[in-house]
């Protein structure tokens, strides 16, 4: 078993080896990638008991189930963004929302590995938005903004891609709220588990979706089935 001291670096190396786009993102990042992740992990550990950020106090579980899980589909997300922006007439950084961001998962790890994208962390709980503002300042994440609001009150049509990481099922009201903040050609990328469970979940949602696909990804040192559920609204024109 990997020790807490090397599980992050070893896990990242596995991701780099298995996905050339993750390798490209990290290679172009510079020397502060690991230090930013380490500082973020330390911030979670410092404030977790007071703010209830994640459901574990174990450092190894935090790194594997939250940090590495957030980063594992970064290559998939990068490829989705490349297709979304392929026909843009102007070169602008894609604007990504992390809906119900909580502790900043997956928004903060993704903002670290993709510094050329703009991320908005949407969270309704004051104590958690306070934590997110603190992380933004401590890590000097200039590509991150924080909004303390509910999805229903977020300005519509702003985001090319919306991430969503939660262990509860999607349901029609929530999906409509997320679609509402997507741009006309925007998509949702939801972090999910077993494919069988996803198929059952989507049975009641297919009338709301133009198309959906569950893309498998592997999290280093985690023996669990993980998928990125990619959903587009009926009006979107995106190929998978």
Long-range CB contacts (< 8 A, 24+ apart) of 82-85?
A: 83/238, 83/239, 84/160, 84/161, 84/185, 84/186, 84/187, 84/238, 85/160
Least Cα distance to 144 among 181, 115, 123, 165 occurs for 115
Average pLDDT over residues 90-101: 89
Least Cα distance to 176 among 111, 99, 77, 103 occurs for 99
pLDDT tens track for 179-199? 999 998 899 999 999 999 999
Question: Considering the entire predicted model, what is its pTM?
Answer: 0.94
Least Cα distance to 105 among 169, 43, 25, 13 occurs for 43
What was the pLDDT predicted at 240?
39
Strand-pairing partners, residue 217, are 226
State the pLDDT confidence band at 235, using cuts at 50, 70 and 90. low
Using the 8-state DSSP alphabet, how is residue 148 labeled? E
Tracing tokens 């569950």 back to the chain, one arrives at: 214
Q: Indicate the range of 37-41, 188-192, 198-202, 213-217 predicted with least confidence.
A: 198-202
pLDDT tens track for 44-54? 999 999 999 99
Cα angle 179-72-145, degrees, rounded to a multiple of 5: 50
Residue bearing the bigger pLDDT, 204 or 147: 147
Structural domains in the chain plus CATH codes: 4-233 (3.40.50.150)
Average pLDDT over residues 105-130: 96
């Amino acid at each position: 078993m990997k020790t807490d001291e090397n599980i992050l670096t070893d896990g990242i190396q596995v991701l780099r080896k298995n996905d050339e786009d993750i390798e490209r993102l990290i290679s172009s990042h510079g020397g502060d990638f690991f230090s930013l992740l380490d500082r973020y992990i330390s911030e979670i550990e410092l404030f977790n008991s007071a703010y209830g950020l994640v459901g574990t106090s174990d450092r190894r579980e935090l790194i594997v189930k939250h940090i590495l899980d957030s980063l594992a589909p970064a290559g998939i997300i990068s490829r989705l963004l490349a297709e979304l922006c392929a026909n843009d007439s102007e070169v602008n950084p894609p604007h990504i929302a992390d809906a119900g961001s909580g502790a900043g998962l997956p928004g903060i790890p993704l903002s670290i590995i993709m510094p050329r994208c703009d991320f908005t962390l949407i969270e309704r709980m004051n104590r958690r938005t306070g934590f997110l503002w603190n992380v933004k300042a401590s890590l000097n994440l200039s590509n991150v903004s924080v909004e303390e609001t509910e999805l229903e009150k977020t300005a519509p049509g702003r985001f090319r891609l919306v991430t969503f990481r939660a262990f509860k099922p999607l349901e029609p009201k929530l999906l409509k709220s997320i679609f509402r903040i997507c741009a006309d050609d925007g998509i949702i990328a939801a972090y999910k588990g077993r494919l069988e469970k996803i198929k059952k979940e989507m049975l009641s949602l297919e009338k709301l979706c133009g198309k959906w696909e569950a893309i498998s990804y592997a999290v280093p040192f985690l023996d669990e089935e993980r998928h990125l559920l990619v959903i587009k609204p009926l009006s979107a024109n995106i190929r998978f």
